[in-house]
């Protein structure tokens, strides 16, 4: 199993540009999520999905959209990039959304918005 994969690894955008961060998992996990990591703040939840066709907002959803058309894929869209969205983005998945299930993380995407 490849686990959780993310593309691209690095991306530089100009303010106002849009892009999609890709995330895929091959473990047949129901739950998938997106986090951003900023220095001194740990990881903060952006959006999550408990199954295909079901998404919901996390702690910091503004400026981001998600969709979940298949169990495997959970892309994150930046509609109009802003410098405040410069961060490292991690996708994660777990078997279910229950509190005892372990989340497994992808390698991350480092995004810079100029």
Partner 1 sequence: AQSVAQPEDQVNVAEGNPLTVKCTYSVSGNPYLFWYVQYPNRGLQFLLKYITGDNLVKGSYGFEAEFNKSQTSFHLKKPSALVSDSALYFCAVRPLRDMRFGAGTRLTVKP
Q: Residue 33, interface with partner 1 (CB under 8 A)?
A: yes
3-class secondary structure, 75: coil
C-alpha span between 25 and 62 (Å, rounded): 25
Given the complex with partner 1, which of 9 and 14 has the nearer CB atom? Answer: 9
Q: Return all residues near 48 (Cβ < 8 A) that are at least 6 apart.
A: 31, 32, 33, 34, 55, 56, 58, 97
Cβ closest to partner 1, residue 27 vs residue 45: 45
Residue 50 interacts with partner 1 (CB under 8 A): yes or no: yes
- Does 62 interact with partner 1 (rule: CB under 8 A)? no
What is the contact surface with partner 1 in residues (CB under 8 A)? Answer: 4, 31, 33, 40-45, 48, 50, 56, 58, 90, 92, 97-108
């Amino acid at each position: 199993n490849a686990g959780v994969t993310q593309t691209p690894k690095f991306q530089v955008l100009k303010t106002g540009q849009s892009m999609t961060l890709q995330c895929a998992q091959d473990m047949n996990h129901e739950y998938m999520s997106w986090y951003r990591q900023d220095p001194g703040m740990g990881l903060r939840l952006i959006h999550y999905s408990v199954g295909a066709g079901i998404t919901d907002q996390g702690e910091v959803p503004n400026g981001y959209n998600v969709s979940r058309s298949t169990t495997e894929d959970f892309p994150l869209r930046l509609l109009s990039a802003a410098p405040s969205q410069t961060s490292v983005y991690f996708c994660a998945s777990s078997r279910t959304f229950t509190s005892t299930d372990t989340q497994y993380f992808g390698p991350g995407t480092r995004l810079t918005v100029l």
